[in-house]
Amino acid sequence: MATVNPVYDLLVEALDCADRLALADGSRWLGDAIARAYEVIELPDWLPQFETLVEAMGKANTSVSIAGEEPD
């Protein structure tokens, strides 16, 4: 069941993408979510900063190994 707020849907999807970045190429998913957002809403001015934040979250997730140890 989809919500009626596409901005909320985009936020949820972007956060889900950030969680998956350590597992696969999440930038493709994030790019797809943003492209689809252009079709349904007028994007706010802060979206590029939000995209940068999500990408940074993904980089932070990949800086820790599966065993939980810091990389060399």
pLDDT for residue 65 = 46
| Domain residue ranges in the chain | 6-61
Supply the pTM of this predicted model. 0.31
Residue type, 27: S
pLDDT digits (tens, 9 = 90+) for 8-17: 787 888 777 7
| Cα separation, 16 vs 12, whole angstroms | 6
Q: Are 51 and 34 in contact (CB under 8 A)?
A: yes
**Helix residue spans in the chain (DSSP H):** 6-20, 26-40, 47-62
| Cα separation, 5 vs 22, whole angstroms | 28
